[in-house]
Amino acid sequence: MQFVPRQPDRNVNITPTSAIREFLVLAGGLMAIVLVLYLLLGFAVELLIPRLSPRFEQVLASSLLSKTMSGKIDAEKSQKLQSLLDRLQEHCARLPYHCTVKVIDSPRVNALAAPGGTIIVFSSLLDELSSENELTFVLGHEMGHFFHRDHLRGLGRGLVFMAISTALFGPHNQASRLAARFLNLTELRFSRQQETAADHFALDVLHCTYGHVGGALIFFKKLASMHHSRYAGVSFFSSHPLFPERMQDLQDYCRQQGFHNGRVTPLPEGW
């Protein structure tokens, strides 16, 4: 009898399902694991932030400010703003520590709150202001971030993601960059909520200082006229609330609190 070999019914070296489907399932599962870890550790950050001492924050800030404050500091304008900031902190804003302000020569129209209690104001923002009230709103907004410790929350979440992505994908990996873009979208909504809370804090400071909130909407109308963003009409892709939404929220908050507009105080000459 002659032996005739027979082919097996199935090839164990070839998967019966699509390779692309398996890749997508694997990639989706990995992304889900990263997201769950990120949210859990982010929740841990939320619990830890209120317990961090101001001293620890200032030590942490010493390693970060050198990178942020890369431009030339305008000492004269910084001193003028510091006088106003001291007055606001003494009478209208209770913060976990005393804040300082630095004016940096820069074409950026922006201000930010850095860890450790330092407010950085870029000189081009001052060029757009016409009243002390507008400046008070800007400083009050950044103080609102300190009051809610938003800067530490953002820093903590960033460090959490960096640790997860490095452990899973390595420090320089395409998967890490894709995950960063995906998780960044989850943070945008969180950031918009922070900005809204800081706006409310600024309105409270403005009303406490002048007895009205005149100047706040003027400032935002100026920003709206300068704002040209690729995603200006898509709220989901904005780290800040869109200007029409933001101004409407300011008006709603003022109405709820019984705040009204009033005469603004011009900035002194030389600003």
9 is a domain residue: no
Q: What is the pLDDT of residue 174?
A: 65
Domain membership of residue 181 as a residue range: 21-257
pLDDT of residue 150: 78
**Considering the domain boundaries, does residue 8 fall inside one?**
no
* Nearest by Cα to 183 from 169, 199, 195: 169
Residue 10 lies in a domain: no
Distance CA 50, CA 152 (A): 9
Q: How distant, in Å, are the alpha carbons of 81, 138, 140 from that of 246?
A: 25, 14, 16
Predicted TM-score of the model (pTM): 0.72
Q: Is the residue at 265 inside a domain? A: no
Give the pLDDT score at 67: 55
> How much is the pLDDT for 219?
82
pLDDT average, residue stretch 255-260 = 96
Mean pLDDT in residue range 152-174: 65
Q: For the chain, what is the domain count? A: 1
Q: Is 71 helix (H, G, I), strand (E, B) or coil?
A: coil
pLDDT band at 259 (very low <50, low <70, confident <90, very high): very high
pLDDT bin (cut points 50, 70, 90) of residue 83 is very high
The answer to whether residue 266 is domain-embedded is no
Residue at 14: amino acid letter? I
**263 in any annotated domain:** no
Is 271 contained in some domain?
no
Any domain includes 236? yes
